[in-house]
Structure 1
Amino acid sequence: MALTVFKLNGQFLDVADALATPAGLTAAHWQVLGAVLETPLPVAGIAREMGITRQSVQRIADLLAANGMVEYRPNPAHRRAKLVAPTRQGLDAVRRIDPAHAAFADRLCEVLGDDRAAEALAVLRELSSALAAIEEEG
Structure 2
Amino acid sequence: MRDRHNPSTTRELVIAVFETNGRLVETGNELVRHIGLTTALWQVLGALGYSPVPLAVAHIARNMGLTRQAVQRVVDLLVERGFVCLQPNPHHQRAKLVVLTPAGRAALDAAEAAEAPINRAIFDRLGAERIAVAIAVLREMNEVLAQTSDTPTVDAVMKKPRKDKS
Scaled by the length of structure 1, the TM-score of the pair is 0.91
Per the TM alignment, residue 53 of structure 1 is displaced from its structure 2 partner at its CA by: 0.7
Secondary structure of the corresponding residue to residue 131 of structure 1: helix
Q: Is the 8 A contact 1:23 1:94 kept in 2?
A: no
In structure 1, the partner of 2:42 is 30
The within-5 A match list for 1:70-89 is: 70-89=84-103
Write the deviation string for residues 27-54 of structure 1: whole angstroms up to 9, x where unpaired.
0001111111232111111100110111
The one-letter code of the counterpart of 2:127 is G
Structure 1 CA distance for aligned equivalents of residues 29 and 125 of structure 2: 21
The number of residue pairs the alignment matches comes to 136
Question: Segments of 4+ in structure 1 off by > 3 A?
Answer: none
The one-letter code of the counterpart of 1:47 is A
The answer on 1:69 being equivalent to 2:104 is no
Per the TM alignment, residue 123 of structure 1 is displaced from its structure 2 partner at its CA by: 1.0
In structure 2, the partner of 1:21 is 33
Q: Is the 8 A contact 2:42 2:111 kept in 1?
A: no
Structure 2 CA distance for aligned equivalents of residues 111 and 94 of structure 1: 25
- 110-119 or 30-39, which deviates more: 110-119
Per the TM alignment, residue 114 of structure 1 is displaced from its structure 2 partner at its CA by: 3.0
Per the TM alignment, residue 67 of structure 1 is displaced from its structure 2 partner at its CA by: 0.7
Per the TM alignment, residue 22 of structure 1 is displaced from its structure 2 partner at its CA by: 2.2
Write the deviation string for residues 65-86 of structure 1: whole angstroms up to 9, x where unpaired.
0110100100001111111111
Unaligned runs of 5+ in 2: 1-12, 151-166
Scaled by the length of structure 2, the TM-score of the pair is 0.76
In structure 2, the partner of 1:60 is 74
Give 1 or 2 for the bigger CA radius of gyration: 2
The one-letter code of the counterpart of 2:44 is V
Among 62, 65, 73, the alignment partner of 1:48 is 62
Write the deviation string for residues 5-26 of structure 1: whole angstroms up to 9, x where unpaired.
2211101111211222122110
Q: Is the 8 A contact 1:41 1:83 kept in 2?
A: yes
Unaligned runs of 5+ in 1: none
Secondary structure of the corresponding residue to residue 84 of structure 1: strand
Secondary structure of the corresponding residue to residue 133 of structure 2: helix
Q: Is the 8 A contact 1:32 1:61 kept in 2?
A: yes
Q: Give the share of equivalent positions with the same residue, in percent.
A: 45
Among 119, 132, 144, the alignment partner of 1:118 is 132
The one-letter code of the counterpart of 1:9 is N
